Chains A and B, each alone.
Chain A
Amino acid sequence: KQEVTQIPAALSVPEGENLVLNCSFTDSAIYNLQWFRQDPGKGLTSLLLIQSSQREQTSGRLNASLDKSSGRSTLYIAASQPGDSATYLCAVNTDKLIFGTGTRLQVFP
């Protein structure tokens, strides 16, 4: 059974820091991996999708990498801002999306 783990569960950093959020999964047979952002009381916003054949994807200050063989993905956030404060979720697609429980990020001024 596919299991997805995100570490750390919570993170509090000062503005301007570069961050790395981690996601690990137990079964490497995936179609793709998706990173989402969720603000309190809101739905999920898709940030990046990495296909199983890709190693990384970039969007603005966000960079996501995928190492399928080791079952790991990282989301790198450059020059963090208070507006980045949210919960970040990763999900692996094995015909269905299996979600991690998220990393709650707080960026303070």
Chain B
Amino acid sequence: DAGITQSPRHKVTETGTPVTLRCHQTENHRYMYWYRQDPGHGLRLIHYSYGVKDTDKGEVSDGYSVSRSKTEDFLLTLESATSSQTSVYFCAISAAQETQYFGPGTRLLVL
């Protein structure tokens, strides 16, 4: 399996609080992605990165920000969590337009 870890794996938080999810890779891949998975919607891209400090928006980026200060780490921040952001969040990595490898996911519950 590709070396991808996500932390935390589970989190419960309250509406209005900031939340940061971390994705860490040991593969030195250039591209990193954040997705959310919801019943009836499948997986949707939130943000992605194509290099250190290079990021772009995906399909459902409102309410989320990202940062990538090192090749191995990609952070997803919910500035002020809302109940609609309750979801399972997946990080993925790839080398260019090739196979994407996914992390184990983070289950986030916003009360």
Contacts and interface: CB of A to CB of B under 8 A. Distances in A.
B105 A43 contact: yes
A31 B99 CA distance: 11
A84 B101 CA distance: 20
Contacts, number: 46
For chain B, the bracket of interface size reads 20 to 34
A19 B110 CA distance: 39
Nearest to B59: A96
B74 interface: no
Given A42-B105, A101-B40, A101-B42, 5 more contacts: A32-B97, A49-B99, A93-B97, A97-B100, A99-B42
Interface of A: 31-32, 34, 36, 42-46, 49, 89, 91, 93, 95-97, 99-102
